[in-house]
Every structure is written in C-alpha cells, then in structure tokens.
Structure 1
Amino acid sequence: MHGPVAYDYATIRLVPRVDREEFINVGVIVSCPARAFLQAYIALDEKRALALDPTLDLEAIRMHLGTIPAVCAGGEQAGPLGCLSQRERFYWLIAPRSTVIQISPSHRGLCHDPAAVLEHLLETMVQSPPKETL
C-alpha cells in the first residue's frame, strides 16, 4: 500500500449576477499529480440557479460547465488546452475570473485515493443536503 499523497481541489461556482456576488457551488476539480489524476465533477442544481437569477441561460451554462471535465481529460476534445500538462491544465482552470462561472481558491490535502476525495467533495461541497422531515 502506498502512503498518502498531496492533492489540490477547488470548487466550481455559478455566479449568475457577478455584481451581487451570490453563488452556488456546481462542481469540484481535484488534481493529484502523484497519481496522474485530474478530474472534475459537475452537478448543476438548476432550480437553485434559477432562484438566484430566473433569466439564466441554462443551456449556455451547461455548455460552459461541460468544458471543464474536457479540459481535465486533455487531448484533442479540449482544444489547444488539451496539449498542456495535467498540472498546467489545473492551474489554467483555477485561474481567477470575474465571469458567471468562477473557481474557488485551491485547497490542499493528503489522500490515498483522489477519486474518493472527488466523490466526497461533491457530496459535501456541492450537492444539497437532504431535507429533514419534521
């Protein structure tokens, strides 16, 4: 069994109205160079997004969010960015932007399984908690 390795992660945020600075987390990116791992999961809660801005173009949002996992995967489907190394693609993805889709600052941790970290972060940082019944 290998020991723990360093990983970085960042949440993907949807900021429908940048002027209001309101956002919802819609995905997670995890990079673990020691395991040659760079993946993103997207989980857009359209109802929550429309609650922040009912005029959102959800089709355009889905299209732009879909490019993030493609850039993580690299290769031709990622366009010119696909030629960059995994680490370069991660840094490109997390670069600050003032657009509707933004990335949080990156955070670092140690893990044995970056795929399990990605699942855990999606569950805890993105997906809405189940409603409690009274």
Structure 2
Amino acid sequence: MPAHDSYDYAVIRVVPRVEREEFINVGIILSCERRGFLEARIELEPARVLALDPQADLEQLRRHLDAIPAICRGGADGGPIGALPPRARFHWLTARRSAIIQTSPTHMGKCTDLDAAVEHLLERMVRPPR
C-alpha cells in the first residue's frame, strides 16, 4: 500500500468588489513539500464573476489568475517569485491580502495521489454543484 503524503492547500478566490467581501472560488493551490509538488488549477466561470460585478474586467482578471499556475511551475515564466523554492512560492501565493484575487486560509490533507487530490478539491470547493 502506498504511503500517504501530507499536503497543504488553499482555495483561490475572486473578490470582484473587495468592499463587499463577496467571493467566488475559482481554483486550488496544492503543495506537498516532501514530493516537491506545487500546482494550481484555475476554473474561472465568467458568468459567476459578472453576477457579483457586471463591470468586472474579465480579461485583466484572467491575466492575473494565469500568473498563479506559472508561479507554481517556477522558472522564468513565474517572474521573480518563480525563482524561489516551491515551498516559498506556496507561502507567497497564500499570503493574506486585500485584493481582487485572494486565497482561503491554508488547510491540510493526506493522500496517495496528489493529482487526484487536486481534482477532488476542485470538485468539492470550486465547481458549482451539479
């Protein structure tokens, strides 16, 4: 039986009008230090954002959201933060901020398949109920 890996994750949120504190979950960032795993997956549904702010700039929002997986992958595409070690990138991405893109508090979990854990979290925390 494969060993369970501990991981940390945060939900990525879009807060179209920060003063109203209403948000939509749009993605997951998952980090497993032991495996050197750091991944973000984004699933933006424009209609949900526009329901909270009909004036939202979706193109600009998408550009900013696209930076998160690039930072997770590291390297030049992740800019200066992409040069940091994976764990430091995770902590930078999940730092509290008052902006249109925020993350939930960090949570922990255990699994044997990190990709399946990301998919499970997307289904449970991001995708609308079916």
Instruction: Return the TM-score normalized by structure 1.
Output: 0.95
4+ runs deviating over 3 angstroms:
none
Deviation per CA, 1:67-107, whole angstroms, max 9, x where unpaired? 00000000011111111000000000000010000010000
Any stretches of 5+ residues in structure 1 without a counterpart? none
1:24 aligned residue: 24
State the Cα distance separating 1:109 from its structure 2 match: 1.0
In the other structure, the counterpart of 2:12 is 12
TM-fit CA distance, 1:35: 1.6
Distance in 2 between residues matched to 1:29 and 1:47, nearest whole Å: 22
Which segment drifts farther, 90-99 or 109-118? Answer: 109-118
1:69 corresponds in structure 2 to 69
Using the size of structure 2 for normalisation, the TM-score is 0.97
What's the offset of the Cα at 1:4? 0.5
3-state secondary structure, aligned to 1:34: coil
Aligned to 1:39: 39
Count of aligned residue pairs for this structure pair: 130
- Residue 97 (structure 1) aligns with: 97
CA RMSD of aligned residues (A): 0.8
Identity of aligned residues (%): 58
For 1:102 and 1:43, the matched residues in 2 are separated by 15
Quick one: distance in 2 between partners of 1:80 and 1:14? 23
SS at match of 2:7: strand
Give unmatched runs, 5+ long, in structure 2. Answer: none
Structure 1 letter corresponding to 2:31 = S
SS of the residue 1:99 aligns to: coil
